[in-house]
Amino acid sequence: MRFSPECVPCLLNRVIYETELVGPDKVAEALSASMGILSQTDWSHRNSAEVATMVHRKVYQISGYDDPYKDLKKRSDEAAEMIFERIERFVKSSKDPLEAAALCSIAGNVLDFGIDVGFERPEELGQKFDSLVKEGLAINDLPEARKILAKAGKVVYLLDNCGESVFDRLLVKEVKALGPKVIGVVKGEPILTDVTMEDALRVHLDRCFDEIVSTEEFAVGVDLKRAGQRLRKEIKEADLIIAKGMANLESLSDENVRPVLYLLRTKCEPVAKTIGSRRNANVAKLFV
C-alpha cells in the first residue's frame, strides 16, 4: 500500500504519543526529525509501512528506549486475559467456532494506541469488546479460506498486537483442528505494541503454535526484503498466510504473496479503500 497524505497526521500523532510515553522533553526533537524524513521521502514510490518504519526507528533512537510500549503491551495482555474465559465460552458455544474465533481475534485488533480510533487505556477492552463482536464481519471470506485450510499442510500466522494475541490462541486452535501445521510469526525487535518472542512466551503462545519464528527485523508489518531467510522460506512454502492487523496488509499488499487471509479492523480510510471496505469495520478478506 502506497504512503498517502492521510498517513501523515496519523503517523505524527503516533510519534507524539510514543515519545511522551518515555521522554516528554524529546517530543519536539522527535517531531522535527520525523517531518524531516517525510519531507525527503518520495511517497509515490514508498510503501506506507516502510515509511513508518523509517520514522519509528529514528524516534526510538531519539527517545533512547528500544521498547517504549513495554508497559502498555503487558497491560494489554492482562486486559485480554481478564475476559479470555468469557470469549472462550462464546467461541465454543458458537455454531461456527472458526468464524467466532476469527471475529474475536479481529475485535482484539482495537488494542492500538496513539491513533484516533484506538483505546486510551487497555482496561477499556472489557467494556467495549461485546459491541465490537456484535458488529459482525463487514467482509467475510472465511468460507473460501476454510476450503484452503481443509487441504493445507502449513499455515503461517503473522501476529500483530499484544492483547489481541491472547485471543489469537482461540483462532489458532480452530485452524489446527482443520488439519494444518500452524507457524506463528513474531517481530524480531520491539516495535509499537507488536508481539515479540518475549511477549509471545508471556501469554503462552508457544503452547498453541506448532512453532514460532521471528521476522529478525525492526519493521512495521513485514519487510520481506529484510526479513530473515527462515521466514521467507516459510512464507514461500505456506498453503495459506493469515495476517493480523493493518500493518501486515500495508507491507504485504505490494508483494507477490498469495494466498493471504487478512484479519483486521479497518482503522483508517487508506486501508479501508485498499481492502474494499468501510472504515471501522471487522474484515476477513482473502486474496488468492
State which H helix or E strand residue 242 sits in. Answer: strand 240-244
Q: How far apart are CA 121 and CA 111, in angstroms?
A: 9
Cα–Cα–Cα angle for 134, 135, 137, rounded to 5 degrees:
115
Higher-pLDDT residue of 234, 114: 234
Burial of 153 (0-12, 13-18, 19+ CB in 10 A): exposed
Average pLDDT over residues 256-276: 93
Task: For the chain, give the percent of residues with pLDDT over 90.
Answer: 83
* pLDDT confidence of residue 127: 83
pLDDT interval class at 110 (50, 70, 90): confident
CATH code assigned to 70-287: 3.40.50.10880
Q: What would the DSSP string read from start to end of 160-191?
A: -BTTHHHHHHHHHHHHHHTS-EEEEEEBSS--
* pLDDT confidence of residue 129: 87
pLDDT of 118 higher than 80: no
Higher-pLDDT residue of 5, 209: 209
CATH code assigned to 7-63: 1.10.8
pLDDT tens-digit readout, 136-172:
999 999 999 999 999 999 999 999 999 999 999 999 9
pLDDT interval class at 117 (50, 70, 90): low
Structural contact between residues 15 and 51, judged by C-beta atoms closer than 8 angstroms: no
pLDDT tens-digit readout, 229-238:
999 999 999 9
Cβ atoms < 10 Å from Cβ of 87: 23
* pLDDT confidence of residue 126: 82
Domain ranges, ordered by start, for the chain: 7-63, 70-287
pTM of the shown model: 0.95
Q: Going by C-beta distance under 8 Å and a sequence separation of 6 or more, which residues neighbour residue 203?
A: 77, 80, 81, 162, 165, 166, 169
Average pLDDT over residues 215-236: 96
Cell of 110: 482495537
Q: Going by C-beta distance under 8 Å and a sequence separation of 6 or more, which residues neighbour residue 183?
A: 154, 155, 156, 157, 209, 210, 211, 212, 213, 234, 238
pLDDT tens-digit readout, 35-88:
999 998 887 778 999 999 999 999 999 999 999 999 999 999 999 999 999 999
Q: How far apart are CA 103 and CA 97, in angstroms?
A: 10
Torsion angles phi and psi, residue 275, rounded to 5: -95, -10
Average pLDDT over residues 106-130: 79
Task: For the chain, give the percent of residues with pLDDT over 70.
Answer: 98
Torsion angles phi and psi, residue 55, rounded to 5: -65, -50
Higher-pLDDT residue of 106, 128: 106
The gap between the terminal CA atoms of the chain, to the nearest Å, is: 17
Average confidence score pLDDT of the chain: 93
pLDDT interval class at 189 (50, 70, 90): very high
pLDDT of 116 higher than 70: no
